[in-house]
């Protein structure tokens, strides 16, 4: 019986593991690119077939050209994109950190949860974009307003992720830490937080999408820079090529952020969905 255990193979390094991984990566890459390629083809087809004037909706070639010049030649698009990224990222980090802290705290203390619960419900009921003009009024025409709105708007998903994740820590693990006389902080850092990691990162993924929305909306009404400003400004000037180019770049920004978070999730929460040896 005990001997049977010792017959298990130790983990072997698979030959050609690297080749395997690279070809998997390329295949995945192609799989992800295919729908976008199809989209571009359909886009091109529609614009040609329906003979849509470029001032109304430009075709992919024009937009591609504009992106190229905007990023690599004149670099004017780069500036706005970078501005949007900075504000979004800063607000995202701020909002997420606060959300995780508050969510964890409320999950661990039921009395505090009941006390703060009305505030959370109220915050959730208000569509955050409606607060944008107020934030602008209070904080003025600079990055602080954008960062604040972004933080407010991406707060909730991360909050829920942290709350649900920490609350779902198995009671037996909490008991274990209690029998080991671990302090509340140690229990949180070594037990509850890792347990909540998957839920938190899922909340962050949703939050990143929200964050971009908040940033764009603030840039719409602030009118001072960033991808949102660019889209609004160029659309008003009927420079739809630039507007669509900015939209595409925003999409890329959203996609990259989501991808990074996915990758982080896979590496951090590695234990979900694993294979088992049987005794």
Partner 1 sequence: MTNDQFIPGWMRVVLPTIGLALLFAAWQGLAEFVVSDSRLLPTPMQVGSNLYAWISSGGFMPHLVATVYGSLGGLAIGAGLGFVSGVIVGEVRLLDRAVYPMALALQAMPIVAIAPLIIVWFGIGLASKMALVAVGTFFVMFINTVAGMHAAPAELLDMGRAFGGNRWRVAFTIKIRASLDYVFSGLEVCAALSFILCVVGEFLAAMAGLGYYLRAASYDIDASSMFAAVLVLAALASLLALVVRLAHQRVVFWKYRKN
Partner 2 sequence: MNAPLPYELQLGKSMLLNLRDISVSYPSRRGPVLALDKLNLSVQPSSFVSVLGPSGCGKSTLVRLVSGLQKPTAGAVEFDGVSAGGARDDVGVAFQQAALLPWKTALENVLLPIRLTGQSVRPASERARSLLDLVGLSGFHDRYPFELSGGMQQRVSLARSLIRDPSILVMDEPFSALDAMTRENMMIELQRIWLDTRPSVLFITHSIQEAVFLSDRVVVMSGRPGKVIADVPVDLPRPRDVQTLAHPRFVELSNQLRDLFNAET
| Residue 13 contact among partner 1, partner 2, none, beta carbon within 5 to 8 Å by kind | none
Given the complex with partner 2, which of 183 and 236 has the nearer CB atom?
Answer: 183
Q: Which C-beta is closer to partner 1: that of 12 or that of 130?
A: 130
Euclidean distance between CA atoms 209 and 250, whole angstroms = 11
Say which entry of partner 1, partner 2, none residue 167 contacts (CB below 5 to 8 A, set by partner kind): partner 1
8 Å CB contact between 265 and 205: yes
How does DSSP assign 52-66, residue by residue? --TTTS--HHHHHHH
Binding site for partner 1 (CB under 8 A): 32, 34-36, 38-39, 42, 56, 107-111, 114-119, 122, 125-127, 129-134, 136-138, 167, 169, 171, 174-175, 184, 187, 192, 209, 212-213, 216-217, 220-221, 227-228, 231-232, 235-236, 238, 240, 243-244, 246-248, 250-252, 254-255, 258
Q: Is 49 in the site for partner 2 (CB under 8 A)?
A: no
Report the alpha-carbon distance of residue 57 to residue 69 in Å, rounded: 19
Shorter beta-carbon distance to partner 2: residue 137 or 172:
172
Alpha-carbon distance 40 to 56, whole Å? Answer: 17
- Per CB under 8 A, which region of 124-132, 213-221, 234-242, 266-274 contacts partner 2? 266-274
Q: What is the full DSSP assignment across 135-178?
A: HHHHH-SSHHHHHHHHHHHTHHHHHHHHHHHHHTS-HHHHHHHH
**Contact set for partner 2, span 158-177 (CB under 8 A):** 170, 172-173, 175-177
Name which of 82, 40, 58, 225 is nearest 66 in CA terms. Answer: 58
Q: What are φ and ψ of residue 232, in 5° steps?
A: -65, -45
Contact 90, 80 (CB under 8 A): no
Q: Which does 196 bind (CB under 5 to 8 A by kind): partner 1, partner 2, none?
A: none
Element (H, E) at 5: helix 2-6
Of the two residues 201 and 253, which places its CB atom closer to partner 1 in the complex? 253
* Closer Cβ to partner 1, 22 or 251, answer by number: 251
Could you give the CA distance from residue 11 to residue 118 in angstroms, rounded to a whole number?
A: 52
Give strand ranges (E) for the chain: none
Beta carbon nearer to partner 2, 15 or 277 = 277
Least spacing, CB of residue 97 vs partner 1, in Å: 21
Rounded to 5, what percent of the chain is helix, strand, coil?
80, 0, 20
Q: What does 83 interact with, of partner 2, partner 1, none (CB < 5 to 8 A by kind)?
A: none
Query: Near partner 2 by CB under 8 A, which window of 31-39, 45-53, 106-114, 190-198?
Result: 190-198
Query: Which residues form the interface with partner 2 (CB under 8 A)?
Result: 1-2, 5-6, 8, 10, 170, 172-173, 175-182, 186, 190-191, 194, 270-271, 274-279
């Amino acid at each position: 019986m005990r001997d049977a255990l010792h017959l298990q193979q130790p983990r072997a390094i698979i030959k050609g593991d690297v080749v395997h991984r690279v070809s998997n990566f390329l295949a995945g890459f192609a799989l992800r690119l295919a729908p976008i390629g199809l989209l571009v083809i359909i886009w091109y087809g529609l614009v040609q077939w329906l003979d849509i004037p470029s001032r109304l909706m430009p075709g992919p070639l024009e937009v591609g050209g504009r992106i190229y010049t905007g990023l690599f030649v004149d670099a004017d698009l780069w500036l706005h994109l970078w501005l949007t990224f900075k504000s979004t990222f800063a607000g995202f980090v701020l909002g997420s950190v606060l959300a995780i802290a508050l969510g964890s705290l409320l999950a661990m203390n039921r009395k505090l949860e009941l006390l703060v619960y009305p505030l959370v419900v109220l915050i959730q009921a208000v569509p955050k974009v409606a607060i944008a003009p107020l934030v602008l009024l209070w904080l003025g025409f600079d990055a602080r307003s954008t960062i604040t709105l972004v933080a407010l708007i991406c707060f909730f998903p991360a909050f829920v992720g942290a709350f649900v994740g920490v609350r779902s820590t198995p009671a037996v693990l909490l008991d274990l830490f209690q029998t080991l006389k671990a302090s509340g902080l140690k229990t949180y850092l070594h037990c509850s937080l890792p347990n909540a990691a998957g839920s938190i990162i899922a909340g962050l993924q949703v939050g990143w999408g929200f964050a971009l929305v908040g940033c764009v909306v603030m840039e719409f009404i602030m009118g001072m820079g960033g991808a949102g400003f660019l889209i609004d400004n160029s659309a008003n000037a009927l420079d739809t090529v630039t507007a669509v180019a900015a939209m595409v770049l925003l999409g890329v920004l959203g996609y990259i952020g989501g991808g990074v978070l996915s990758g982080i999730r896979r590496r951090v929460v590695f234990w979900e969905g694993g294979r088992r040896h049987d005794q």
